[in-house]
Amino acid sequence: MYFLQLKFELRRLARSPLTWLLLLCLLVFFGFSFYSSSQHLHRKAESVNAMLEAQQKELTAQSLLADSLRRGTAEVAGWWQDPTNPIVVGGIWRGGRVVVVPPQPNNYLALGMQDLRPDAWLLRMTGKQARGDVEFENPVNLSFGAFDLAFVIAFLLPLLVIALSFDLISAERELGTLPMLRAQPVMGRKLFFAKALARFSLLAAAALLALLPFFLLAGVSPFSAAGLGTVVLVLLSLLLWFLVALGINLLGGNSAVNALQCVGAWLIIALLLPVLANMLSEKLSPIPSRAAFLNSERATDKYLEESREDRLSAFYQQHPNYERKSEEEQDWRDYYRELLGLMPQEDAIRDSINRPFDEQIAAQEALSEKLLWLSPSLSIYAQLGVLAGTDREAGQSLEAEAEQLRQRWSGWFTDLFMEEKAVDASAYAAIAAFPSTVETEPPSPSYRGVLGLLLQCLLAGAWCFWVAQRRMVQ
């Protein structure tokens, strides 16, 4: 029965101009998603490469000037231009080390949160600063999000399914062939399920063939975890929407009514339910207001200013080899010694104050992940973000790695400064060998998106079977 329906549907669809138009749309969607992603990643690659090239030129110039100073063949205007000074090279108000996040082939699958993720961090002794592409973007474009593969699978592919399946049964009724089908020695339910399965198989084959050039151009192996995971998501998404369309057909309406109901289902499932999930996460686990966060920061700054004298006294008690001087007697070295000596304690105090706010934000994000089952769009975006390495967990892992590098960088130059050592040739060799990219092991694989989509397919299948039982299509 299945192969007979497959042969019949193939011939029927091949004669329809609409089918070829939809296949062309499928190719255009996948092609434009690759183009859009490639443009975004190309700009990102150009940005990080420019940063690395500028850093290498500056490091070479600093090293040559430091060598000339040691030979006595050059002079500088002051300590703030001395390339042998740890403060200048390590970075207090200038200098530092740029570490970049290079784009990866898997990023083509879903740009995810890359709009919010910096392209690089500037590591300094007092902290790290985000760096990235400063090109201004049209706010309208940002409001619609990126046109990437995740967008195509989550929002556009269901529309192609609806266009091919809204008249799955109603067309037979309107053409007068339904009584002939009912005359066959096969139950109507099995016949129409086989018909839907045949169309699903044809569209799935077309989608996978259109997806293959995307993989080849992006450099993603179809047999890798990312490639196979994407294939599974495409198949589950197609299956879900074919089941929805079949259930609507089984309700017994005409083709026009079915088309409206399918589009309505798409609006509710793909667009309204994600909004509902976001509203639920905000109401059930609200994050603190920005005003409360700013008030907390102001209170922290006030506390640090009021307790500065006590903390300075404790610092000099712990380091009796340093002489405490009045503000009039202090030079630049005394000022920065106190700044760097108090910085670890101040960072710990700020972290303890901000931790409750961070925990509330993490609680809301965790609740949002639990609501993925409400919409296939959320499941697809979540899973493709994991496969592409552009989800929230990947971003947090990269930032944690950048923070570890900053602590190494800061600790190294702080020790040089406190010990009153110069940045010599061996130090410049170590700087050149210091990592310039942030690459970390991907987080443990998560399949919550696939499981959510699978659950949605089961619910759609159960609803479709229930409708078939009630309507008794024979």
Over residues 8-52, the pLDDT tens digits come to 777 877 888 888 898 899 999 999 999 999 998 998 899 899 999
Contact 196, 246 (CB under 8 A): yes
- Give the side-chain half-sphere CA count within 13 A for 406: 22
Single-letter amino acid code for the residue at 146: A
Predicted pLDDT at 244:
93
Task: Look at residues 62, 89, 56 and name the one whose alpha carbon lies nearest to residue 70.
Answer: 62
The pTM of the full predicted model, rounded to 2 decimals, is 0.84
Q: How many angstroms separate the CA atoms of 452 and 384, rounded? A: 13
Predicted pLDDT at 431:
93
H-helix segments, 72-110: 86-90
Q: How many angstroms separate the CA atoms of 445 and 232, rounded? A: 15
**Cα 300 → chain centroid:** 32
Predicted pLDDT at 361:
84
Predicted pLDDT at 131:
83
Q: How many angstroms separate the CA atoms of 51 and 296, rounded? A: 35
Name the residue with tokens 């947090």.
396
H-helix segments, 419-447: 425-433
Element housing 124 (H / E): strand 120-124
**Burial class of residue 452, CB neighbours in 10 A (0-12, 13-18, 19+):** buried
Task: Look at residues 341, 272, 282 and name the one whose alpha carbon lies nearest to residue 313.
Answer: 341
Predicted pLDDT at 252:
81
Q: How many angstroms separate the CA atoms of 250 and 112, rounded? A: 37
Q: How many angstroms separate the CA atoms of 315 and 309, rounded? A: 10
Q: What angle do CA 284, 286, 268 make, to 5 degrees?
A: 55
Alpha carbon separation from 258 to 169, 261, 268, 369, 457 (Å, rounded): 10, 5, 15, 33, 20
Contact 235, 226 (CB under 8 A): no
- Which residues have C-beta within 8 Å of that of residue 197, sequence separation ≥ 6? 2, 5
Alpha carbon separation from 173 to 8, 9, 18, 176, 367 (Å, rounded): 17, 16, 20, 5, 46
Q: How many angstroms separate the CA atoms of 89 and 124, rounded? A: 9
pLDDT digits (tens, 9 = 90+) for 174-205: 766 656 555 555 555 666 777 778 888 888 99
What are the beta bridge partners of residue 100?
120, 437
Predicted pLDDT at 473:
44
Q: How many angstroms separate the CA atoms of 246 and 169, rounded? A: 8
Q: How many angstroms separate the CA atoms of 380 and 388, rounded? A: 12
Predicted pLDDT at 136:
44
Q: Which two tokens stand for residue 469?
A: 């039982």
Give the residue extent of every domain in the chain.
2-18+146-284+454-471
Predicted pLDDT at 5:
67
Q: How many angstroms separate the CA atoms of 193 and 6, rounded? A: 12
Q: Which two tokens stand for residue 346?
A: 């101040």
Extract the residue ranges of the chain whose pLDDT is less than 70. Answer: 1-2, 5, 113, 115-116, 133-145, 172, 175-191, 440-444, 471-474
For residue 297, give the DSSP letter.
Answer: H
CB atoms within 10 A of CB 225: 13
Q: How many angstroms separate the CA atoms of 71 and 50, rounded? A: 32
- Which residues have C-beta within 8 Å of that of residue 401, sequence separation ≥ 6? 438, 439, 440
